[in-house]
Amino acid sequence: MSAITVIILVLYFVIDTFWVQKRQWLAECTPIYIQYFVKFFIIGVTVLVVAVPEGLPLAVTISLAYSVKKMMKDNNLVRHLDACETMGNATAICSDKTGTLTMNRMTVVQAYINEKHYKKVPEPEAIPPNILSYLVTGISVNCAYTSKILPPEKEGGLPRHVGNKTECALLGFLLDLKRDYQDVRNEIPEESLYKVYTFNSVRKSMSTVLKNSDGSYRIFSKGASEIILKKCFKILSANGEAKVFRPRDRDDIIKTVIEPMASEGLRTICLAFRDFPAGEPEPDWDNENDIVTGLTCIAVVGIEDPVRPEVPDAIKKCQKAGITVRMVTGDNINTARAIASKCGILHPGEDFLCIEGKDFNRRIRNEKGEIEQERIDKIWPKLRVLARSSPTDKHTLVKGIIDSTVSDQRQVVAVTGDGTNDGPALKKADVGFAMGIAGTDVAKEASDIILTDDNFTSIVKAVMWGRNVYDSISKFLQFQLTVNVVAVIVAFTGACITQDSPLKAVQMLWVNLIMDTLASLALATEPPTESLLLRKPYGRNKPLISRTMMKNILGHAFYQLVVVFTLLFAGEKFFDIDSGRNAPLHAPPSEHYTIVFNTFVLMQLFNEINARKIHGERNVFEGIFNNIIFCTIVLGTFVVQIIIVQFGGKPFSCSELSIEQWLWSVFLGMGTLLWGQLISTIPTSRLKFLKEAGHGTQKEEIPEEELAEDVEEIDHAERELRRGQILWFRGLNRIQTQMDVVNAFQSGSSIQGALRRQPSIASQHHDVTNISTPTHVVFSSSTASTTVGYSSGECIS
């Protein structure tokens, strides 16, 4: 448009001057002709400046940056800027239970001790002394010594739980039994513990070995009730004696104790012990499976973690917004189902699926044990609760939902996680939420947003802000494109017909400032409202410009063009002033063109209020005073416009206007608000010719090479696994090199010869058996040295 404008102006001038008027090119007239050509060039550049919506990247950045700053107040610490917009399109949320949906303040509320099911914590007198002794010692030493209960910060407040919340619940249970765990810990300090099998998400248990003064050993174990009970061969009876515990007895306890507890939403933990007599040979402590078996059950306790009071309402909002919430937890399936029902994830009479991780894995794998996408596609649409799941199950589920092609739109998945093992799932998800309080550094590093309060309601706030970002950019686009269409057509048509742009270069730059920088600030800082959660997600390929927006853009552009062209070609008669058309080169600013400029700017100003609504709403003033920035910019622009028109003079090509002319300009500007009401009356469905614009890139439009690269990048978990294997081989390779060097020194042969005999790393990747095997390898944390022992007796540290 810019180039065509310049070419037409130059050709018109040349043909009119040298062809029609048959003038000669005189040397003394050259500077005047050059001034004309420079003027045409400036008009062309002006059209270009107005036509290019350079404010769009600014609007996107301002909207995202503003949202990120405000989200911090809503307990969302955004690590990746684009994640906040992606969250607005989320269709699925896979949430943890503990701490996110629940309060993570656990207390023991039921217990099965000495063959009795207590519905509330029993009195210590009701428990036989020897069982009480096992309970006190077992819980005190078999909980991390970092877990403790501190006095409340304020008088009358609740005691503070420090460390693992489940362990704090067990320690609180001892305090309820009027026993102090600290006395036991003082008697048996952490350094004196013989062996500790720490808790992990696979075996779901923790065990601690104590060495007694007579040389015997006692192991205390705690963990998921059904897993520990399977390893119990005895149980402490009502009189405190150990009696045989058969599979039939175990099934009875599961049916009469564990399932009722779980159905009330309680997490069930089994406590057990085992003695190793002094006379027997010392067991192989490295073989945990042989050690933690043949246990004697002490008690089963039910731990309550109440649902956060605000969560059911937040989940209802998510469901209204078209987002499916799924619970992925390590808890018992009955507990998970009870909590999911309390939260509102499960509704009676709905067709949903609640399965355990073991069952999930069995259903999604073929005979060879490989995961098949078709099998996942049969499960995930109805899946609402995945219980007893491992972090790998969470990653598999997230990957399966993202890669699925069952639904029309590609699913956008948000995931919450707090553990180190949740890293791959958080990385794989479109938006990963890490817990700010309970989360590990690895989880936070892998996430996009950190929930500083570990609360599910903060995720709903993130959805609102994400949708608000999308809407803010659409609002700005609607406003910007209306101005663009009008300004370009006016500049182009006016230049071609009148040999001069009705809007001068400096005026165009002021218009550009209004519609780019200031408009992006005003429209990109709109606060979100609850109404954003009443519609379904847009989807990844939804066009930025909807048909309603296209109707608004074309409708308002039509009104503004009619007003501008009427003023341009008939304004001088209406206002009874001199015409500004066909003015000589250095003529003073005319009232005529000043009215055109003033009316044009005021129409943009009132149209900015129209642009606040993009879904055809009638009340464009709703919530306008909630956005102070918007009000400030609109009023500020109006004041500056008055100053430019009244005092701008020659630099702004403006002439002073009378009160009457100002009132007409304001009246025509306000006409856009009334015209907007008329446009919103016309149903979009009737306007079949309107098209959407601004589609996302479709898959078929992406070159195959890029798709191939994408496939390579997809599986973070596999990549981590591969990297882990390479590091492992490299470590073993270094160990073997060191062994060969030691052997070379001992035998007196050359070191070079020892190194030459080393197989390459590449060959080790294919043949692991090439590596000499040390008798034991211990890779510990940075607090201890890494020691490797060898069969020949050397030790390298």
Instruction: Round to whole Å and give the CA distance between 181 and 397.
Output: 41
> Which of 464-468, 631-635, 707-711 has the weakest average pLDDT?
707-711
For the domain with range 107-304, which CATH number is right: 3.60.15.10, 3.40.1110.10, 3.40.50.300, 1.10.3720.10? 3.40.1110.10
SS3 content of the chain, % helix, strand, coil (to 5): 55, 15, 30
More confident of the two residues 98 and 753: 98
Residue whose C-alpha is closest to residue 161's, from 206, 438, 152: 152
pLDDT in tens, 645-690: 999 888 888 999 999 999 999 999 999 999 999 999 988 887 877 7
Mean pLDDT for the stretch of residues 222-245: 91
* Cβ-contact 511, 483 below 8 angstroms: yes
Mean pLDDT of the chain: 84
pLDDT in tens, 612-624: 998 888 899 998 9
Instruction: Round to whole Å and give the CA distance between 565 and 490.
Output: 8
pLDDT in tens, 125-164: 989 999 999 999 999 999 999 999 998 887 777 788 888 8
Tokens of 793: 């007796």
Mean pLDDT for the stretch of residues 471-498: 86
Write the CB contacts of 786 (distance below 8 Å, at least 6 apart in sequence): 778, 779, 780, 797
Calculate the alpha carbon distances from 234 to 97, 117, 255, 765 in Å. Answer: 33, 18, 18, 47
pLDDT in tens, 310-335: 899 999 999 999 999 999 998 888 88
> Which of 47-61, 196-210, 353-367 has the weakest average pLDDT?
47-61
Residue 772 scores a pLDDT above 80: no
Strand partners, 776: 789
pLDDT in tens, 408-422: 888 999 999 888 888
Active site residues: 96
pLDDT for the residue numbered 498:
78
pLDDT band at 19 (very low <50, low <70, confident <90, very high): confident
Residue whose C-alpha is closest to residue 587's, from 675, 541, 655: 655
Instruction: Round to whole Å and give the CA distance between 663 and 562.
Output: 19
Query: Which strand (E) or helix (H) includes residue 197?
Result: strand 195-197
What DSSP assignment string belongs to 223-274? EEHHHHHHTEEEEE-TTS-EEE--HHHHHHHIIIIIHHHHHTTEEEEEEEEE
pLDDT in tens, 391-401: 899 999 999 99
**CATH number attached to the domain at 53-64+465-686:** 1.20.1110.10
Instruction: Round to whole Å and give the CA distance between 337 and 331.
Output: 10
Instruction: Round to whole Å and give the CA distance between 469 and 463.
Output: 10
Instruction: Return phi, psi of residue 176, to 5°.
Output: -65, -30
* Cβ-contact 310, 292 below 8 angstroms: no
pLDDT band at 718 (very low <50, low <70, confident <90, very high): very low
Mean pLDDT for the stretch of residues 265-290: 90
Write the CB contacts of 364 (distance below 8 Å, at least 6 apart in sequence): 371, 372, 375, 376, 379, 396, 400
pLDDT for the residue numbered 12:
86
pLDDT in tens, 116-129: 999 989 999 989 99
Percent of the chain beyond pLDDT 70?
A: 88
pLDDT for the residue numbered 745:
64
Instruction: Return phi, psi of residue 132, to 5°.
Output: -60, -40
At the fourth CATH level, the homologous superfamily of domain 77-102+309-454 is: HAD superfamily/HAD-like (3.40.50.1000)
pLDDT for the residue numbered 773:
38
pLDDT for the residue numbered 790:
39
> Which of 218-227, 285-294, 760-769 has the weakest average pLDDT?
760-769
Residue whose C-alpha is closest to residue 494's, from 55, 54, 50: 50
For the chain, what are the domain ranges?
Answer: 1-51, 53-64+465-686, 77-102+309-454, 107-304
